[in-house]
Structure 1
Amino acid sequence: MNKLLLKHATDEDQLGSVDSSPSVCTNMSPRNVVFKKICKDKSVAVYMGKRDFVDRVDSVEPVDGVILIDPEALQGRKVFVTLSCTFRYGRDDMDVMGIAFRRELYLSTRQVYPPLQDREQGIHTKTQARLLRKLGDDAYPFFFEFPDNLPCSVALQPAPHDVGKQCAVEFEVKAFSAESQDAKVRKRSSVALMLRKVQFAPDSEGAAPSVETSQDFVMSDKPLHVKASLDKEMYYHGEAVKVHVSVTNSSSKNIKNIVVSVDQVSTVVLYSNDTYVKSVAIEEFGDSVSAGATLQKTYTLLPLLANNRERRGIALDGKLKHEDTNLASSSIELEEEMVFQEFKRSYLKGMIDDDEDGNVSGGDDMAPKEK
């Protein structure tokens, strides 16, 4: 039989929640960690078995947990729990005339006490069942399913001197006690846990990306032809990207340099589609291709967050407080158009400069999808 072990921790050390009340990390077994957070007036506590929920493109793991109440502290109030997704595009101190720089993309509310259904009918996981047995009759389960087309957790990296919350898509579970769902919520009677929605790459992989282009020059009868290809379509964090480049210079120009970069394209949908392009790995190899010559070579790039720590505007995977993260994974979408999205993708861009006019031959994007 599993023993219930309690380990006290601060929010910053363990849970990364917005509230500063004491928190607990509960070990139900060596493999099962349960996160707990209790509000300041002790009326409501939240228990969750995990805080990362996987989006597999065609399905998303549901959010489940248990709410523990104190009937005496409630004093007749009801208990509700919400799942929300918020797009924050400005710091709190930038709010003007009461208008917050954030947009609520999704909000779902459940009443957990008094229960609207039999307690056993609300159990969906083994973790919930174990917690209900341990916590007793004052514990109630909750369960949410993510809607289609919500973005995953993502944030834009602030500059080193920036303070306050960053531009991000954030998920949160919040429990509170109030006279009704629409009544004003007292801060002392509410508790929140930040969650992450992370996207996993599908098991199946498409064909290796390949692109080619030709560039004509004035006073040259024949073009410059460039072809670039990758070994595979999908790359994981920390994995090097090998780029196979073939240059056939039939023109009269001399090519003096080859530049290969992995660019991150972030599209932020607010009032319009704003696109930001950031190179997360770039190399100038100095290879030249004289007129009438050819070149075939493989170049290696390694896009890492460690090399982009102080660059403002780099898209990152969402993270909990004091946890490290990665460059944002490429978004993988269904065919249907997303109602609202902030998405990002990495693409490989090659540039070849000639020695006179500074003309650039650039290939179309080739997207190594990062997990």
Structure 2
Amino acid sequence: MSLPQTEKTPTPSVVIAKMNPPSAAPKNVIFKKTTPDKSIAVYTGKRDFIDHVTHTDLVDGVLVLDTGYIKDRKVYCRLLCSFRYGREDVDVCGLKFRRDLYETTLQVYPPPSGEKPKPQTKLQERLVKKFGDKAYPFHFQFPDYLPCSITLQLGPNEIDKCCGVDFQISAFCAKTLNIDMKISKRSSVFMVIRKMQYAPDKPIFQPVAKITRQFLMSDKPLHLEASLNKEIFYHGEPVEVSVEVINHSTKTVKKIKVTADQIISVVLYSHDKYIQNVAEEEMDEQVTPGSTLKKIYTLYPIIANNREKHGMALDGKIRDQDTNLASTTILKEGIDHEVWGILVSYRVKVKLVVSGMLGDVLFSDVAVELPFLLMQPKPLSESLDDDDDIQFEDFDQGGPMAVTEDLKEGAESLFKSSNACH
């Protein structure tokens, strides 16, 4: 029997992402969105809200109102989570491929009588101090059963809205809140937000898998063992797969294929499951009877190598910002899977192609699977500093634009204004 040797595969001809260390969260940046008629402005301290499994970040902000223009109308704020699975313009037997998973609406102005005001967060205190009696705080708490933001990638020639789960905050004026109410587009505004999960602090499992296969007319077996260097990988990191093959059988291993797969489970409507290959290494490795192979294969499960694949699950995106492959879904114990809409997991699969009874005519496969987590690293948190300025950012789907007083209806502009408060 030959002595085992450990070697690494050469770097493949794919795009390799550089892994940057966790960065600090943007400090003292306030996001703003205004109605076309300027009667309502929504201010919030972030657009990414973290699901910590045990709880989710509070959605807090303020509405700055032109009460003279609003007059006797009421102002409402709404948090909406929607699941879209199919084109919005398709109606099959009255079935719309969109479902609102969660909706809650609260009256912000005038403040409901008899309700005790909730304690203000530090962000709200700063904004109320700046805008005075024009500022009205709002709070939303995510229920623990809501999914995270996720998008299914469209094909290169598709221009329809993406399938997936999305969240938005909206504010609008209305005489009263009922099913027949009419909402003016000029007096309404919405802001897309994301619900995200970060990698857990502690390891969950150690990815190691073994299999022993006994072949017909072979006295001794074939052993396959595969392992990963760790169980949690950040987006952009290479995945190293250690493979050991000990061949005591009379068969010859003709080929070794190592893949990283994204497993998408659509559990709300149809319980469909899709497996997408996100990285692979396939080598014509010969492991003859009585020999041993040890090798490390390197996979790169990154969005840059998968942009043309239809149906690939991505983390939810805001407008034209770039994103990455969808993070692994981590569920709180006891939560119903179906309400999450789309579940995402990852695995590494190592497959040996072994010669069959007729030599090269028939082949058999020997395979093992290794689950792993692909997630965002936790950023270095930054608290709002009373001594620092607040910078306001307005957003637009069309990209950077100059500061202007006349934003077109329904648009968001992306610029950092010179407005600052102490």
1:333 aligns to what? 331
Distance, in Å, in 1 between the alignment partners of 2:327 and 2:173 is 37
Compute the RMSD of aligned alpha carbons. 1.9
1:240 aligns to what? 238
Q: Secondary structure at the match of 1:363?
A: strand
Do residues 83 (structure 1) and 79 (structure 2) align? yes
* Bigger relative CO (Cα 8 Å, ≥ 6 apart): 2
Deviation at 1:97, TM superposition (A): 6.5
Distance, in Å, in 1 between the alignment partners of 2:114 and 2:65 is 16
Greater CA drift, 87-96 or 162-171: 87-96
Deviation at 1:280, TM superposition (A): 0.3
Distance, in Å, in 1 between the alignment partners of 2:115 and 2:33 is 21
Q: For structure 2, list consecutive stretches of 5 or more residues without a partner in the other structure.
A: 1-25, 377-422
Do residues 135 (structure 1) and 131 (structure 2) align? yes
TM-score, length of structure 2 as denominator length = 0.77
2:381 aligns to what? none
1:350 aligns to what? 350
1:226 aligns to what? 224
Distance, in Å, in 2 between the alignment partners of 1:213 and 1:334 is 31
Contact 1:216 1:222 in 2 (8 A): yes
**Which of 302, 305, 314 is 1:304 aligned to?**
302
Q: Secondary structure at the match of 1:320?
A: coil
2:247 aligns to what? 249
Kindly tell me: are residues 203 and 117 of structure 1, through their superposed partners in 2, closer, same or farther at Cα, counting changes over 3 Å? farther
Q: Secondary structure at the match of 1:201?
A: coil
Amino acid corresponding to residue 301 of structure 2 in structure 1: P
Amino acid corresponding to residue 152 of structure 1 in structure 2: C
Deviation at 1:98, TM superposition (A): 6.1
Contact 2:227 2:370 in 1 (8 A): no
Greater CA drift, 202-211 or 341-350: 202-211
Deviation at 1:118, TM superposition (A): 8.8
2:213 aligns to what? 215
Distance, in Å, in 1 between the alignment partners of 2:114 and 2:161 is 40
Kindly tell me: are residues 135 and 118 of structure 1, through their superposed partners in 2, closer, same or farther at Cα, counting changes over 3 Å? farther
Greater CA drift, 300-309 or 206-215: 206-215
Amino acid corresponding to residue 72 of structure 1 in structure 2: G
Q: Secondary structure at the match of 2:125?
A: helix
**Which of 317, 342, 360 is 2:365 aligned to?**
360
Contact 1:123 1:129 in 2 (8 A): no
Q: Secondary structure at the match of 1:239?
A: coil
TM-score, length of structure 1 as denominator length = 0.87
**Which of 165, 183, 186 is 2:184 aligned to?**
186
Deviation at 1:207, TM superposition (A): 4.2
Kindly tell me: are residues 98 and 180 of structure 1, through their superposed partners in 2, closer, same or farther at Cα, counting changes over 3 Å? farther
Contact 1:245 1:298 in 2 (8 A): yes
Distance, in Å, in 2 between the alignment partners of 1:189 and 1:247 is 67
Distance, in Å, in 2 between the alignment partners of 1:90 and 1:232 is 37
Deviation at 1:208, TM superposition (A): 2.3
2:57 aligns to what? 61
Distance, in Å, in 1 between the alignment partners of 2:335 and 2:367 is 29
**Which of 121, 127, 137 is 1:125 aligned to?**
121
Cα-to-partner distance string for 1:200-232 (whole Å, 9 max, x where unaligned): 111111342101112233332333221111111
Distance, in Å, in 2 between the alignment partners of 1:112 and 1:155 is 31
State how many pairs are aligned.
Answer: 342
Deviation at 1:78, TM superposition (A): 0.8
1:17 aligns to what? none
Amino acid corresponding to residue 347 of structure 1 in structure 2: R
Greater CA drift, 122-131 or 49-58: 122-131
Kindly tell me: are residues 97 and 80 of structure 1, through their superposed partners in 2, closer, same or farther at Cα, counting changes over 3 Å? farther
Greater CA drift, 294-303 or 330-339: 330-339
Kindly tell me: are residues 117 and 212 of structure 1, through their superposed partners in 2, closer, same or farther at Cα, counting changes over 3 Å? farther
Kindly tell me: are residues 186 and 97 of structure 1, through their superposed partners in 2, closer, same or farther at Cα, counting changes over 3 Å? farther
2:162 aligns to what? 166
1:24 aligns to what? none
Distance, in Å, in 1 between the alignment partners of 2:35 and 2:151 is 27
**Which of 35, 42, 51 is 1:39 aligned to?**
35
Q: Secondary structure at the match of 1:135?
A: helix
Cα-to-partner distance string for 1:35-84 (whole Å, 9 max, x where unaligned): 11111233222111110111111121110110122223223111110111
Deviation at 1:354, TM superposition (A): 1.3
Contact 2:233 2:372 in 1 (8 A): no
1:272 aligns to what? 270
Amino acid corresponding to residue 343 of structure 1 in structure 2: L
1:204 aligns to what? 202
Q: For structure 1, list consecutive stretches of 5 or more residues without a partner in the other structure.
A: 1-29
> Percent identity over the alignment?
47
Q: Secondary structure at the match of 1:141?
A: strand
